[in-house]
């Protein structure tokens, strides 16, 4: 007879245990044990060094936040897990990698890619899946995509900044040589040409060359026949170097100008680029607590502090700050938090978003001295 009360109590405990289990499951779904973020960069192919710079910088940012206990999300510190995918600098591969990161790896956001062609392929996928992509690419075509969170000024701002700098010394006679396979090169070329003409200068010619070009002789011969004082080539570094050397060999003694695709360390050491002007988004001499600390700590970690590394670190830190502001690990909440939260002092400058995913941000104009030294001047946002 005494067993009946025990059975009765056991019968009451079963539903209670089931309820507690279900509640625990629900809490685990709302409160993940880690934050998974993706990184897409090309670490193989011709531009593998750029991809490796982005990868090392992302690891640096993730390691730093994890050493501090993780990202504060809703009062809980969560560790960050970085999931990397090599795009091999292929737009199709980059788009596939983004889908895989979201659907299989469960990332809350993706940093990269670092090439404009890949970023343009990834952005529509990000919008369709409603997962933000933090991009260091200034592509004008991404401006209307609210799931592409920009870290830099747009292509239009880059092209116009170079033209205005040159026009400040008087009307400009300029020719343009642009890579047709690079969206950023075409957009920056168009903005540069428009600003030259609006400021009273003359566009003496423009040629867009196909991908894979190595012999720029015929194109340069046609462009230099117009006797330009400036040759604007907003193209990838390797192609810009080939074109610059060939232009000099044909007797061009004017100013070489570029957008933001040139690698400062590469062009500065070449005699052909003496006096050249271009744009970048960070330099190790930049004044500011966040910039100086990054340069110091990154070098102490055994890595060279570069522009791309600085931009990648800013992308990661902005992502972390957005999660803290959102208070939950959710892609849509993260995107909205970046738009709504106060301005953040980044390594590359202030990241300030006003009701959209594009920051009000300036650029750095870089002039290469005759001795290869770089002089950077920060230009305020328009």
Beta bridge partners of 111: 39, 134
pLDDT at 141: 73
d(C-alpha 255, C-alpha 271), whole Å: 12
Over the chain (382 residues), the average pLDDT of each successive run of 10 is 42 46 45 94 87 96 98 97 96 97 98 91 96 86 86 90 94 97 92 97 97 94 98 96 98 97 91 96 86 96 94 98 98 97 93 87 91 88 72
Under DSSP, the state recorded for 189 is H
pLDDT at 30: 57
Which helix (H) or strand (E) segment holds residue 373: the answer is none
pLDDT at 320: 98
3-state helix, strand, coil in the chain (%, to 5): 45, 20, 35
User: What domains are there in the chain, each with its CATH number?
Assistant: 35-152+285-351 (3.40.50.2300), 156-280+365-379 (3.40.50.2300)
pLDDT at 378: 85
- My answer on whether omega of the bond before 37 falls inside 30° of 0, hence cis, is no
Residues 6 or more apart whose CB falls under 8 angstroms from that of 168 comprise none
Contact yes or no for 23/30 (Cβ under 8 A): no
Residues 6 or more apart whose CB falls under 8 angstroms from that of 41 comprise 50, 51, 52, 54, 55, 84, 86, 87, 112, 113, 114
On whether the pTM is more than 0.75, the answer is yes
pLDDT at 46: 73
């Amino acid at each position: 007879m005494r067993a009946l009360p025990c059975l009765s109590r056991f019968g009451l405990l079963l539903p209670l245990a089931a309820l507690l289990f279900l509640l625990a499951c629900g809490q685990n779904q709302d409160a993940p044990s880690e934050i998974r973020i993706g990184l897409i960069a090309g670490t193989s192919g011709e531009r593998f060094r750029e991809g490796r710079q982005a990868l090392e910088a992302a690891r640096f940012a993730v390691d730093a936040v994890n050493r501090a206990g993780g990202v504060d999300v809703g009062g809980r510190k969560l560790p960050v897990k970085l999931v990397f995918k090599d795009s091999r600098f292929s737009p199709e591969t980059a788009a596939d990698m983004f889908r895989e990161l979201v659907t299989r790896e469960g990332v809350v956001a993706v940093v990269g890619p670092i090439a404009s062609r890949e970023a343009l392929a990834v952005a529509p996928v990000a919008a369709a899946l409603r997962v933000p992509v933090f991009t260091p690419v200034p592509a004008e075509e991404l401006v209307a995509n609210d799931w592409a969170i920009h870290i830099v000024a747009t292509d239009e701002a880059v092209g116009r900044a170079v033209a205005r700098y040159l026009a400040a010394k008087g009307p400009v006679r300029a020719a343009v040589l642009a890579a047709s396979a690079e969206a950023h090169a075409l957009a920056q070329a168009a903005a540069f040409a428009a600003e030259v003409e609006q400021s009273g200068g003359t566009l003496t010619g423009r040629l867009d060359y196909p991908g894979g070009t190595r012999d720029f002789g015929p194109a340069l011969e046609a462009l230099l026949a117009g006797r330009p004082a400036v040759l604007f080539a907003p193209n990838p570094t390797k192609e810009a170097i080939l074109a610059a050397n060939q232009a000099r060999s044909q007797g061009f003694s004017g100013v070489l100008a570029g957008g933001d695709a040139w690698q400062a360390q590469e062009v500065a050491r070449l005699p052909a680029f003496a006096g050249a002007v271009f744009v970048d988004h960070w330099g190790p001499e930049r004044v500011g607590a966040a910039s100086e600390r990054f340069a110091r700590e990154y070098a102490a970690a055994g890595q060279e502090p570069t522009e791309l590394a600085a931009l990648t670190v800013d992308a990661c830190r902005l992502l972390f700050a957005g999660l803290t502001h959102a208070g939950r690990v959710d892609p849509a909440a993260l995107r909205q938090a970046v738009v709504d939260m106060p301005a953040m002092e980044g390594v590359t400058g202030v990241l300030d978003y006003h009701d959209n995913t594009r920051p009000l941000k300036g650029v750095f104009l870089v002039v290469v001295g005759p001795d290869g030294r770089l002089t950077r001047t920060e230009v305020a946002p328009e």
